[in-house]
Chain A
Amino acid sequence: QQPIILKVHSFSSPQAPEAVYQMLPWIEKVNKESNGRLKVEFYPSMQLGGKTSDLIQQLEDGVVDIVMMNPGVAPNRFPVLQGTELPFTNVGTSAGQTPAMLEWVNKWLLKNEFKGIKIIHMHATDAAVLHTRTKKIETAADLKGLKIRVPGRFVGEAMKSLGATPVGLPLSDIYESLQRGQIDGMTINWAIMTPYKLQEVTKFNMETPFYQNAIMSLMSQASYDKLPADLKKVIDDNIGIAYSTEVAKKIDELTVPAKKTIADSGNTLYSLSPEELAKWRAAMAPVYKLWIAEMDKKGLPGQAMFDDLLATTAKYGRK
């Protein structure tokens, strides 16, 4: 009997942490537990064509069965989910905040942005912070006129309200853009710094946690429904909050070594002063308002969702 092929299309390379610690082991495990009746195949780096923003449509159109992506690349497809990336709403560890994210998503989003989609895994990355090329950022005024690469729209709005100009850029282009001074800095989580060698092209790395990115692997419900019951069980055995938290723990293990590598390469790691941090937090108010207003426009209870987000992340130890 021919095995059932499931195609995984991913924005990341096979060396990226989310591939190494989630997707590749997951594929191996599922293939094994299905006794060879499932053949999950990994297509990294957009090998099947298109831009990262096309991934979700490829999933929904049935081009592929599973995608790995972050919500920021499809700005209008996951506006609600991007609420979890609002700065200072969820700063903590990956393992700490991942259950919070999933709990909130399960409560508010399953009938909404995740209709027709089965969440294989989703995690909040370790803390994403501000890294700059040549200029140490000690106050928001230092950001004026700088171009900062951001992963998504709301982090971009946050940068705007601090005075910087946000730039969208694929992960693979960051290194060269920083090296040539095309951008002055970026916000990105620690774990991704060293695989992409970004310590080589930044000098100042702010340790003050800013936000946490969402990374997710999604399966099309249609692809899942086509599977026989025992194979559905294989999938179901390998998803859920506990599973995602296991992945998140591995991501957390990368933070300290990454910081050490960065520091050893001669970079300056530093923190915002408490007074300045308070100012930055205050500057986020219009960004939160923007997100809430957008939810309201969609007929969703924006304020209630936002309050619940803060309550949930606080319950899981937000700092």
Chain B
Amino acid sequence: MDRFDIGLLMFVAALALIALRMTVAGAMLLVGGLGYAAINGWLPLLSTLKTITYSKFANNGLSVLPLFLLMGEFASRGGMNARLFRTARAWLGHWRGGLAVATIGGCAAFGAICGSSLATAATMSQVALPEMRKSGYSPALATGTLAAGGTLGILIPPSVILVVYAVYTEQSVGALFVAAVIPGLIAVVQYMIVVNLFTRLVPGSAGSLARASWRERLVATQEVWPILTVFGLIVAGIYLGWFSPTEGAAVGAFVTMLFAIVQGGMRFKGFVECLLAAGQTTAMMFLIMLAAELFSAALASSRMPAELAGHVAALNADPLVVMFFIVVVYFILGCFMESLSMVLLTLPVFIPLLLTLDFGLSHDAKLVWFGILVLMSVEVGMVSPPFGLNLFLINSLAKDVPMRETYIGVLGFCLMDFIRVALLILFPIVCLWLPGLR
């Protein structure tokens, strides 16, 4: 069995173990480790394991996640989330799926300051999930909306992936950010449409209330100034360069903590409960990310992406067919890999392949277009059932929602993702128009 086959087998084995109720992290660690050893030998595996855990866990770059989680815990403990949604309900509650639409909007706004899909999903979940549930939204719709909405964190610029891509391909980061804007906005609109269709097709999936009076609306709106202040502070602070997303998360957590103590009556016991809840999800996510890193290291040494690219190049197929093929590879890799490592692994093999293809676009236009396609495809991998990091995160935050419900809820959003990717493949102008490339 050569290393290419080992790479393929890894996907099958991880899938099987997860289906047989092994923890996602455990399955990927086990299979990733065995795959790594089968390809490189036991000694290299054991040596790699010496440092990889520390490198992944002791990582201030990832500390944005626990801090945003903590902010969310404090916000719900302090009743800020409840107030925010009372307001949203007063304004949008009589619309079918109004809260879910508002959640998508919130995700987009958050995505404009944060470059991480997981952090967006985590933060927005803590704000929106309990309130959607309380308002009678079906678990499927609520968790599906959040899993998909989370991807807006990376689809709406800024986005770490695009920066890395720009360096790889010697393209302007600015041009890529601009190119991502229209597809990102399309995603927002598409997601809102999905919410609307879902509520129409599945009766009773979203609660709808009587229209609130203007007086009720104003009263509710008065209550939300704390959370709006915090949100405004973070958005403004990150835009003005006062702080990074991590620092914004810490400041946000700190300020919501003060609000929770002063306004929400949080006491020491509640404080510790917030910390415990944020810590638990943190451990879960970091362990999955460690597993994803080991898995992708094994995959890198299997040279599978390179061989696949070689096979495809040998086919001499129509460029569009090749492009669809590349996108599908991203969908599959997205099952087990974190988006950034996926991009780092695949660009060295796909970019040379891409450059041999003729789409009637200039060199720069082709690379910018492909960058946006990579961005979209990578994110689809994170929300498409059965495996996707966003799904796992949301599902662990929504303790009472079975995974099946989340799968059902996210399907419509995934369908829209596929449509958008196909649209972008067939009509590159969608992303190239704004940066003025052709």
**A interface residues, Cβ below 8 angstroms from B:** 7, 13-15, 41, 43-51, 53-54, 57-58, 61-64, 172-173, 175-177, 179-182, 195-197, 200
Given contacts A48-B297, A48-B300, A175-B163, contact A57 B172 (CB under 8 A): no
A15 in complex: contacting residue of B170, B241, B303, CB < 8 Å: B170
Indicate if the CB atoms of A58 and B47 lie closer than 8 Å. yes
Which label, helix, strand, loop or mixed, suits the secondary structure of the B interface? helix
Contacts A54-B55, A180-B244, A181-B241 given; does A15 touch B168 at CB 8 Å: yes
B48 touches which of A48, A179, A200 (Cβ 8 Å): A48
How distant is B422 from chain A, measured CB to nearest CB, in Å? 29
Chain A residues with CB under 8 Å of B173's CB are 175, 179, 197, 200
Q: Which of B166, B240, B348 contacts A197 (CB 8 A)?
A: B166
Instruction: Judge whether B238 is part of the interface by a CB distance below 8 angstroms.
Output: yes
Give A86 to B169 CA distance when docked, in angstroms.
Answer: 33
| A62 / chain B contacts, CB cutoff of 8 Å | 43-44, 47
User: Does B167 lie at the interface of the complex (its beta carbon under 8 Å from any beta carbon of A)?
Assistant: yes
Tell me, rounded to whole Å, the shortest Cβ–Cβ distance linking A281 to chain B: 32
State the Cβ distance, B179 to closest chain A Cβ, in Å.
15
Instruction: Give min CB distance, B157 to chain A, whole Å.
Output: 11
Assess whether B301 is interfacial by the CB under 8 Å rule.
Answer: yes
Q: With A15-B168, A180-B241, A182-B244 in contact, do A49 and B345 touch (Cβ < 8 Å)?
A: no
Q: In this assembly, does B174 line the interface, its C-beta being within 8 Å of a C-beta of chain A?
A: yes
Besides A15-B167, A49-B55, 20 more A-B contacts (Cβ < 8 Å) are A13-B168, A14-B348, A15-B168, A15-B170, A41-B303, A44-B344, A46-B344, A47-B344, A48-B297, A48-B301, A49-B297, A53-B55, A54-B52, A57-B50, A62-B44, A63-B40, A172-B167, A175-B163, A175-B167, A197-B166
- Roughly how many angstroms separate A180 CA and B238 CA in the complex, as a whole number? 7
Contact with A along B39-58 (1 / 0, CB 8 A): 01001100110111001000
Asked if residues A13 and B167 are in contact (CB atoms below 8 Å), the reply is yes
6 smallest beta-carbon distances between A and B, as pairs: A181-B241, A61-B47, A49-B297, A47-B300, A51-B55, A63-B44
Contact check: which of A43, A45, A58, A176 meets B163 at CB < 8 Å?
A176
Would A50 and B48 count as touching, CB distance under 8 A?
yes
**B160 contacts partner chain A, Cβ-Cβ < 8 Å:** yes
Enumerate chain B residues within 8 angstroms of A63, measured Cβ to Cβ.
40, 44, 47-48
- Tell me the complex Cα distance, A233–B172, Å: 43
Chain B residue with the shortest CB-CB distance to A61: B47
Instruction: Say yes or no: is B294 at the interface (Cβ < 8 Å to chain A).
Output: yes
A173 to B244, CA, bound (A): 12
Q: At the interface, yes or no: B131 with Cβ under 8 Å from chain A?
A: no
Closest B residue by C-beta to A42: B348
Who on chain A is nearest to B41 by CB? A62
Query: Which residues of chain A are within 8 angstroms of B244 by Cβ–Cβ distance?
Result: 177, 180, 182
**Residues of A with C-beta under 8 A to B412:** none
Whether B102 sits at the interface, judged by CB under 8 Å, is no
Interface string of B276-308 (1 = CB under 8 A from A): 000000000000000001101100110100000
Judged by a CB distance under 8 angstroms, whether B158 is at the interface is: yes
Interface residues in B148-189 (C-beta closer than 8 Å to A)? 158, 160, 163-164, 166-170, 172-174
B170 vs chain A, min Cβ distance (A) = 6
* Residues of chain A contacted by B51 (CB below 8 angstroms): 50-51, 54, 57-58
Cα-based distance from A195 to B168 in the complex (angstroms): 8
Q: Which residues of A lie under 8 Å from residue B240 when comparing CB positions?
A: 181
Q: Give a binary string over B6-36; 1 marks a CB under 8 Å from any A CB, 0 the rest.
A: 0000000000000000000000000000000
Q: Which of A47, A173, A180 meets B297, CB within 8 Å?
A: A47
Q: Could you name 20 residue pairs across A and B whose Cβ atoms are closer than 8 Å?
A: A14-B168, A15-B167, A41-B303, A44-B348, A45-B344, A47-B296, A48-B300, A49-B55, A50-B51, A50-B52, A61-B50, A62-B47, A63-B40, A63-B48, A172-B163, A175-B163, A180-B241, A181-B240, A200-B172, A200-B173
Task: Tell me the smallest distance from the CB of A45 to a CB of chain B, in Å.
Answer: 5
Contact residues in B for A50 (Cβ distance below 8 Å): 48, 51-52, 55
The closest CB in chain A to the CB of B352 belongs to A14
Q: Which residues of B contact A179 (CB under 8 A)?
A: 173
Shortest beta-carbon distance from B355 to chain A in Å: 13
Q: Which residues of A contact B167 (CB under 8 A)?
A: 13, 15, 172, 175, 195-197
Partner of B158, one of A47, A176, A182, A197: A176
- Chain A hits for B166, CB < 8 A: 175, 197
Q: How far is the CA of A53 from the CA of B59 in the complex (A)?
A: 12
Q: What residues of chain B lie closer than 8 Å to A15, measured between beta carbons?
A: 167-170
A49 and B48 form a contact (CB under 8 A): yes
- What 1/0 mask marks residues of chain B from 85 to 129 whose CB sits below 8 Å from any chain A CB? 000000000000000000000000000000100000000000000
Q: Which residues of B contact A54 (CB under 8 A)?
A: 51-52, 55
Residues of chain B lying within 8 A (CB to CB) of residue A172: 163-164, 167
Contact B170 A49 (CB under 8 A): no
